[in-house]
Amino acid sequence: MNVSPQAERAAKLRALTESPLDVLIIGGGIVGAGVARDAAMRGLKTGLVEQRDFAFGTSSRSSRLLHGGLRYLAQGRVGLVREASVEKRIIHQIAPHLAAPLPFIFPTYRGNKHWVLWQLKIGVKIYDLLCSGRNLGKSTWLDRNAVQAQVPALAQQNLNGAVRYFDGFTNDARLVLDTLRSAEKHDAILLNYVRFQSAAPKEFWECEVEDQLTQETLTVRTRSVVNATGPWADGLSHSAVKLRVTKGIHIVVERERVPVPDTVVMTEGKRILFAIPWGERTILGTTDTDYSGDPNQVCADAADIDYVLSITNQFFPGAKLKPADVISCWAGLRPLVADPNGKPSDISRSHEIQSPKANWWDIAGGKLTTYRLMAEQAVDRIVRELNVATHVTLPCRTAQEPLLPREEINGFSGVLPPLFNRHAVEHYCTKEWAMHLDDVMLRRTSWHYYHRDAAQKAEQVADWMGELLNWTEEQRAEELARYRELTSLPTVEVNQAQSLSHVAN
Ligand SMILES: Cc1cc2nc3c(=O)[nH]c(=O)nc-3n(C[C@H](O)[C@H](O)[C@H](O)COP(=O)(O)OP(=O)(O)OC[C@H]3O[C@@H](n4cnc5c(N)ncnc54)[C@H](O)[C@@H]3O)c2cc1C
């Protein structure tokens, strides 16, 4: 007999509390998911709690790129670029469905002193070498005519030529979910909608967590705690993290309005923005502005959207994009490790793992691309510190073992949204912990971001989920209201928005 998702959740809550864990991870973004997978694969008794849905935070609001970061190379951060370039290839090996080779065309224009063609030509060759000479594709150069032929919609005046290089295209939320599905196969106990509240170091760490569905408080005992809460990381008791948080937004438009065969790099001074092809859509972004508000409330505002539209209209003069052309948008927060002495543009994208108290671990900063390495380094240190004689831990295998077998991926996970059907929704509710309508519409499928008629699709998904999860009519209406509130677009008046102050490149 099939066990209901509710009964499964109750059993997991019991398992979380009945005997001490080795590791309790707080936060179900990509970093928490990576640590859970690694720790569970090494044989540690692993639990993870996420206050909202898995990937609710930054890890469903990124540019979806697996990249070394060509612009970090321009800043001379060779070590950082190499580290991420190697990881990019590893993700391509363990999860090819979430690491599609993505060519970039980076055009240069006469008079732009920040981005000069001959320097980029050298840069992309070094970039290939930093992937151990095996990037996801070989970089090339294009003369002015070739750029015109490949991207006819691109602004032509003063165009010099371009470089073409490769990174990877992923689906951030799916990378989190598939990493968690892998962790669960190795017996990790994973719970969304459970919020960490406090912890006291006794014989074990005694952590109070609250089930957000019932408001019940539970005590979890654990030998070690990992704070993997991204932009929330400096707010937890016992945390020693110091963050500099910046906001970035993306918008989605019809591909035919910004017809890009490959990703096109658009520049504004030293900053770069991307026009990324995504099936029949183009993703445009991003911004980079200081943020000091509530991380739960981050959203794209009129000024953000206006900025991205105006840069795109400069580079694609025929697009004439207006706010009404925006199909969807998302906004995320970069949890950057603060450098009190550095200028804003010097904020590092590197990560930091520290243990301010015995067996309490803060893991902060980094990128989606480097999550696996961050997890490996953190779990190495946790294992060393735990030093429990009763534990025979296995070596790290996360770079070798595929995330999931192919038959568990097809139709459910990839860089493009899955086909719209009930079978997929059933899978997300029974195999991927989906509880709310937005869990399916935003993070499991991206249907909300991709489809112009997402509102109608949400009604249909609410019907399917209602049947699967036994919602009453009232619950169904609440779910639709919640979804609308979470996804409403700001009212935008193009060119009337305040100008943005961009802090980082
Ligand atoms: C605009 C933008 C574009 C980016 N683009 C890229 C890119 O293209 N490539 C790349 O490699 N990187 C990119 N990044 C960086 C990357 O997205 C982040 O570094 C990464 O997603 C951070 O993951 P995380 O797990 O640390 O944080 P999060 O994903 O935010 O996860 C933290 C989780 O902790 C949970 N949490 C908080 N408090 C509690 C609590 N008390 N109890 C339980 N759970 C809690 C939150 O709900 C959240 O889900 C981008 C970032 C931004 C903002």
Of ligand 1's listed atoms, the one at least distance from the Cα of 194 is 43
E-strand stretches of 255-359 = 263-268, 271-278, 281-285, 289-290, 328-337, 351-357
Nearest CA to ligand 1 atom 10: 368
Distance 359 CA to ligand 1 centre (A): 23
Residues of the chain above pLDDT 90, percent: 87
Return all residues near 306 (Cβ < 8 A) that are at least 6 apart.
323, 492, 493, 494, 495, 496, 497
Distances (CA, A) of 161 to 107, 113, 148, 393: 6, 15, 9, 53
* DSSP code, position 325: G
Closest Cα to residue 416, out of 372, 447, 462?
Answer: 447
Lowest mean pLDDT among 28-32, 160-164, 179-183, 350-354: 350-354
Closest Cα to residue 288, out of 337, 315, 250?
Answer: 250
Nearest CA to ligand 1 atom 1: 248
Encode burial over 442-454: b for 16+ CB neighbours within 10 A, e otherwise.
bbbbbbbbbbeeb
Contact (CB, 8 A) for 153 and 319: yes
Return all residues near 351 (Cβ < 8 A) that are at least 6 apart.
337, 363, 364, 365, 366, 370, 374
Mean pLDDT of 421-443: 98
Count of residues for the chain?
A: 505
Closest Cα to residue 450, out of 248, 174, 252?
Answer: 252
Mean pLDDT of 483-491: 83
Which residues, judged by CB distance below 6 Å to any ligand atom, belong to the binding site of ligand 1?
26-32, 49-52, 56-59, 61-65, 67, 195-196, 228-232, 248, 286, 332-335, 366-369
Distance CA 155, CA 116 (A): 17
Tell which one of 229, 237, 238, 245 to mutate to probe ligand 1, the residue whose CB is within 8 A of the most ligand atoms.
229
Does the pLDDT at position 503 exceed 60? no
Distance CA 61, CA 248 (A): 8
Distance 385 CA to ligand 1 centre (A): 26
Distance 334 CA to ligand 1 centre (A): 7
CB atoms within 10 A of CB 355: 17
Encode burial over 342-352: b for 16+ CB neighbours within 10 A, e otherwise.
eebeebbbbbb
Could you report the per-residue pLDDT of 203-245, keeping only the tens digit for each?
Answer: 999 999 999 999 999 999 999 999 999 999 999 999 999 999 9
Q: How confident is the model at residue 73 (pLDDT cuts 50, 70, 90)?
A: confident
Distance 80 CA to ligand 1 centre (A): 19
Closest Cα to residue 285, out of 156, 268, 296?
Answer: 268
Determine the CATH number of domain 99-169+244-337.
3.30.9.10
Q: How confident is the model at residue 389 (pLDDT cuts 50, 70, 90)?
A: low
What pLDDT is recorded for position 208?
98
Distance CA 154, CA 134 (A): 30
The three-point CA angle 231-35-214 to 5° equals 65
At 465, the amino acid letter reads M
Does the pLDDT at position 38 exceed 80? yes
Determine the CATH number of domain 5-59+173-242+348-386.
3.50.50.60
Of ligand 1's listed atoms, the one at least distance from the Cα of 287 is 1
Mean pLDDT of 352-380: 96
Closest Cα to residue 268, out of 114, 94, 163, 396?
Answer: 114
Q: How confident is the model at residue 341 (pLDDT cuts 50, 70, 90)?
A: low
Does the pLDDT at position 504 exceed 60? no
What pLDDT is recorded for position 372?
98
Mean pLDDT of 67-93: 91
Mean pLDDT of 146-154: 98
Distance 321 CA to ligand 1 centre (A): 29
Distance CA 195, CA 210 (A): 5
Domain ranges of the chain: 5-59+173-242+348-386, 99-169+244-337, 409-470
Q: Does the pTM of the predicted model rise above 0.85?
A: yes
CB atoms within 10 A of CB 358: 9
Stated as kind and residue range, the H or E segment containing 63 is none
Distance 306 CA to ligand 1 centre (A): 24
What pLDDT is recorded for position 499?
43
The three-point CA angle 250-256-260 to 5° equals 65
Secondary structure of residue 173 in the 3-state scheme: helix
Tell which one of 368, 438, 503 to mutate to probe ligand 1, the residue whose CB is within 8 A of the most ligand atoms.
368
Does the pLDDT at position 460 exceed 70? yes
Peptide bond into 390 cis (omega under 30): no
Distance 364 CA to ligand 1 centre (A): 10
Does the pLDDT at position 183 exceed 70? yes
Q: Using the structure block, give the residue that is written with the tokens 């996360």.
A: 398
Distance 325 CA to ligand 1 centre (A): 28
Contact (CB, 8 A) for 360 and 382: no
Contact (CB, 8 A) for 57 and 29: yes
Pairing of strands 217-227, 360-365: parallel
Contact (CB, 8 A) for 197 and 210: yes
Return all residues near 416 (Cβ < 8 A) that are at least 6 apart.
278, 279, 450
Distance CA 8, CA 433 (A): 10
CB atoms within 10 A of CB 228: 30
Nearest CA to ligand 1 atom 3: 62
Tell which one of 58, 167, 369 to mutate to probe ligand 1, the residue whose CB is within 8 A of the most ligand atoms.
58
